[in-house]
């Protein structure tokens, strides 16, 4: 039949997500332990097959798989890249669409702790962990994308709580780009982006009280014309 021919041609298609968060001045990636072959028992990115009945598109597949495996709904989600090839999956030619996602650690803690098979892994500890498939390479690509985006946009704010101080955002960005950042530069961008509003509330921080900011509703991420920290 025509159908079987198409199916034969069609490669294995999956969706995987690289979910980042920042906690304790460390950049962490969410890994789940595989419970089936291949790579049974290994750490892997959360993901799986599209379910045509539930998913209107692949974005929903990514969201659904993250939620099913960890109870997390990320604040930020965008496509990263497709990885494909004959050798990346022992079952044959496979294609995985990967996503790049961010959450505030505060939004995840209650969920993640109840899930036995999911864990936050510090980005540098990955070198010692054997991962399933080419997931190490995928994480590396996601990490580079995150670093780049941190230089010309405010995406790192999605690793912050709903209300955040300049100091907190500064710390998050510094962890991501792995170098010090001028507080002044960040303040200029908060102002210039127009993405944020000052919350009528301050919070203690060891010194003078810090102004809280929050995202305006329905704003898009602004892209600047220059990079930080050349």
Partner DNA sequence: TAATTAAGTGTCTCAGTGACATTATTTTTA
Partner DNA sequence: TAAAAATAATGTCACTGAGACACTTAATTA
Which chain residues interact with a second copy by CB under 8 A?
A: 6-7, 9-13, 49-52, 55-58, 79, 81-82, 84-86, 92-93, 95, 97, 151, 225-227, 230
Shortest reach from residue 183's CB to a second copy, in Å:
20
Partner interacting with residue 221 (select from a second copy, DNA, none; CB below 5-8 Å by kind):
none
Tally of CB atoms within 10 A around 225: 5
Q: For residues 209 and 201, what is the distance between their CA atoms, to the nearest angstrom?
A: 9
Among 210, 214, 221, 222, binds DNA (CB under 7 A): 210
Shortest reach from residue 29's CB to DNA, in Å:
26
Q: What angle do CA 121, 103, 184 make, to 5 degrees?
A: 100
Q: For residues 143 and 148, what is the distance between their CA atoms, to the nearest angstrom?
A: 9
Asked if residue 224 binds DNA (CB under 7 A), the reply is yes
Shortest reach from residue 13's CB to a second copy, in Å:
5
Partner interacting with residue 97 (select from DNA, a second copy, none; CB below 5-8 Å by kind):
a second copy
- Show the tokens assigned to 135: 């997931």
- Show the tokens assigned to 21: 């968060």
Asked if residue 189 binds DNA (CB under 7 A), the reply is yes
Compare residues 45 and 97 and give the one whose CB is closer to a second copy. Answer: 97
Shortest reach from residue 217's CB to DNA, in Å:
22
Q: For residues 80 and 145, what is the distance between their CA atoms, to the nearest angstrom?
A: 8
The half-sphere exposure of 42 on its side-chain side, counting CA atoms within 13 A, is 16
């Amino acid at each position: 039949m025509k159908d079987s021919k198409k199916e034969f041609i069609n490669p294995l298609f999956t969706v995987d997500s690289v979910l980042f968060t920042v906690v304790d001045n460390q950049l962490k990636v969410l890994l789940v332990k595989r419970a089936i072959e291949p790579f049974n028992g290994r750490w892997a990115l959360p993901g799986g097959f599209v379910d045509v009945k539930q998913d209107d598109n692949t974005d929903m597949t990514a969201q659904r798989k993250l939620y099913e495996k960890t109870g997390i709904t990320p604040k930020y989600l965008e496509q990263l890249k497709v990885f494909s090839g004959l050798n990346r999956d022992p079952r044959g030619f496979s294609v995985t669409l990967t996503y790049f996602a961010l959450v505030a650690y505060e939004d995840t803690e209650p969920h993640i702790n109840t899930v036995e098979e999911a864990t936050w892994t510090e980005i540098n500890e990955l070198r010692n962990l054997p991962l399933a498939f080419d997931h190490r390479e995928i994480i590396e690509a996601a990490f580079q994308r995150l670093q780049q985006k941190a230089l010309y946009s405010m995406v790192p704010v999605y690793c912050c709580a709903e209300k955040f101080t300049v100091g907190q955002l500064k710390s998050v960005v510094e962890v991501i780009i792995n170098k010090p950042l001028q507080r002044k530069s960040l303040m200029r961008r908060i102002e210039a982006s127009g993405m944020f509003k000052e919350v009528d509330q301050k919070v203690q921080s060891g010194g003078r009280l810090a102004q809280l900011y929050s995202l305006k509703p329905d704003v898009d991420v602004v892209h600047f014309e220059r990079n930080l920290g050349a």
